[in-house]
Structure 1
């Protein structure tokens, strides 16, 4: 015989095999069924329907478009705000120049001696001034409301 084994070796092998059969196999602890269900629910599905996938992709694309357009709106608003600020500065400067010119012209005009001139405000000027005062009050009230909301 090519592969002859001693009887002693065969007995040793049998004993070892018998010992393996007698050893208790450790049992994994059972989780309550509710825990097992939660684990299954939290796992992502292996397959997704193609239609749902397309819907999700189109929704994401649509959201990207909304974000992009919102960014553009904000940049346009910022440009408008800077233009408004520049326009107000130009208007303020122009009004200051006009006021200086009026004061200079008024100072250079000759007035006859002995004649006192009283400045009369026209009803239109008083109406404009009162409207401006009202607008300033409304602006202050709005600012207070905005600060109250913060």
Structure 2
């Protein structure tokens, strides 16, 4: 039937071969990626892992204190938050017990969320699986002399 209509209009079969229907295929991007199901760990285990991490960060920051960096401060409060202040910027590491995750807020990287990976034994970003220690080190290097000792 299409062939007859084309011939009636004076078009040959070669033109008919060039007529195609537009087909849209959905692409899979990062937003369409399915997140794996995560089993919640016990509250005690999460509290121990997160406290151990905050202790590790405090210890790793020792080489950055004065006189290396004149205006370097680290403050840990009772709400499981660690605030790192340089002369120009402020970084916050906050434990979110209800979600069993750690949030890192940086003026360079923005807000990032990390969950404990029991296989790799590290706190990993949910989006691309980088670890929090690497990003914290990279961001601090922009504003401080020296590097944390993770």
| Category of TM-score, reference length = shorter chain | under 0.3
Q: Which has the higher strand share?
A: 2
Q: Which structure is richer in relative contact order (CA contacts within 8 A, separation 6 or more)?
A: 2
Q: Which has the higher helix share?
A: 1
Structure whose CA Rg is larger: 1
